[in-house]
Structure 1
Amino acid sequence: MTDPASTDGAVHISLDLWYPDCWEIETTERFDVGMLGYGIYTTGERVSTLFTLHADTQAAIDSAIDYIADYPYVHAVSEMNPTYRHATTPVPGNAMRDLLVDHDGRKQITNALMSRGFVCAGPIDIRDGREFWSLATNHDRETVQSKLNEVRDERDADINVRKITNSTWQSGANALPTERLTQRQLEVFRLARDEGYYDYPKEASAREIAEELEISTSTLHEHLHKAEAILLGQNDER
């Protein structure tokens, strides 16, 4: 849906990806949990990253933490006080745990992206066996596609570019109180926003988004209407 024509200035890239030997991806494949990754990545063999695990139950989080701690490329896992996380960062689910994970940076896709001029522009959302990234760069759109192809080849990665826009496109969206949405409402709203459902003219129809989510269009509209009412302060119910 995205026109790869060149543009002046910085661009924002919304994408999701999968690559092998990633403990974060495998954790969300094996357990009914999601993860948000924060913090500063360092190059080299060892990387320390801040994560928030979220799930419907603490038991699911406990099982996921045990799996992470035993993973071959993870060196140490420490629970943290969540004060480092900005209060408005949306964390879906009824249970959550904040972790500092020391792991092998050579197994991460981060360096492959950062070394090619991409900057992480928000928390990495990891769920259902895929990582959802928000990136910024000064590359034009044609170069973005070329650099991502290099990452695909280097890391044997499956990268799906959801949207490429100018860097100011989501400035208003960042101010929305998305932390008030349920996990499902947040997922549906993010996908609709990223696919261009709210653009004028629309870049994606309700039918296309519903098909991607494997739900009916009526169910999609129900989720979006509830999310929109909450985000606009018209409804406190979820």
Structure 2
Amino acid sequence: MDAESAELLHVTVDLWHPDCWTLQTTRQVDVGLVGYRTMRNDTGATGQFGVYGESQDVVDGAIEAIQASSFTEAATRLSPAAALTGSVGPTTCPVLVEFDPEPSIRSAFTARGFFHHSPTRHERGRERRSLITRGDRSTLQRALTEIETAYDADIEVIRVTSATEDRSNHRPTERLSPRQQEAFQLARARGYYEYPRETTSRDLAAELDVSKTTFLEHLRKAEAKLLTDIDL
């Protein structure tokens, strides 16, 4: 690859890989995790995460599942003031997790020239990563295929754009979490925004197998993010 063909690429991937406590937890309990930062040392790794779910009981159950995982050493609740962003669900708890970094797929990306552009999101047994790398589309695909093979992973490329593009050229929905995208796209597809409405929030929530409160929480957050992209 020559210098002229290389460019800075912004890559969004959705993936599954084995032996991961975050994916294990979100399969067992209906919660989401936001991974903000991770620090490695000689004995393991420590990461700061936000655990979010429909209720405090659900979040508590997720933290218990994290503590019980064979891939973690400890999970310590932090004060709400330690959260790096606002609430991403009806109930959110910041947690410091000590874990074995060896099964982690993060190093597979960094070793191949990727760096993380924003916090990772983990929901329903899969995770979404926003990455920046320098190269062309063919070298990008080769690197992702190498990771899939080495980690027995399943990687789906959601979006690839130039990292130097003007932000106005990006799809506004790219800023939404997977659940927010799911709620918003379903609402549009079922005529929720038509007049008169062709469906109800209760019906949409039932279709996603969540409570009406949870559905509306995801939808309202999606709408709030999308509205910030409109120049009023």
Normalising TM by the smaller chain, what interval?
Answer: 0.7 to 0.9
Structure 2 CA distance, aligned partners of 1:120 and 1:90?
A: 20
Deviations 1:16-68 (A, max 9, x none): 00011111001101101000001134376611110000001010111111111
In the TM superposition, residue 157 of structure 1 has moved relative to its aligned partner by 0.2
2:21 maps to 23
Q: 1:231 aligns with which of 220, 226, 229?
A: 226
Give secondary structure in 1 for the equivalent of 2:150: helix
For structure 1, which runs of at least 5 residues remain unmatched after alignment?
A: 1-5, 190-208, 234-238
- What CA deviation, in whole Å up to 9, does each residue of 1:94-132 have, x standing for no partner? 111111101000011011111111101111000011000
Structure 2 CA distance for partners of 1:20 and 1:220, relative to 1, 3 Å: farther
Superposition TM-score, scaled by structure 2 size: 0.73
Q: Report the count of equivalent residues.
A: 200
Q: Tell me how far apart the structure 2 counterparts of residues 108 and 182 of structure 1 sit (CA, whole Å).
A: 21
Task: Show the 5 A alignment for 1:2-151.
Answer: 8-42=6-40, 46-86=44-84, 89=85, 91-151=87-147
- How much does 1:216 deviate? 7.7
Q: Which residue of structure 2 aligns with residue 217 of structure 1?
A: 189
Q: What percent identity do the matched residue pairs reach?
A: 32
| Residue segments in structure 2 that go unaligned for 5+ positions in a row | 195-215
Report the RMSD for the aligned CA atoms in angstroms: 3.5
Instruction: Provide the residue aligned with 1:193 in structure 2.
Output: none
* Secondary structure of residue in 2 paired with 1:40: strand
Q: Using the alignment, how far apart are the partners of 1:99 and 1:122 within structure 2? A: 18
In structure 1, what is the Cα distance between the partners aligned to 2:156 and 2:133? Answer: 17
Are the aligned partners of 1:93 and 1:182 in contact in 2 as well (CA < 8 Å)? no
* Contact 2:183–2:219 under 8 Å retained in 1: no
What TM-score comes out, normalization by structure 1 length? 0.71
Kept in 2: contact 1:92–1:183 (CA 8 A)? no
Moved more, 162-171 or 21-30: 162-171
Encode CA deviations 1:155-175: one digit per residue, 9 max, x unaligned. 00000001110114574599x
Distance 2:183 2:169 in 1: 14
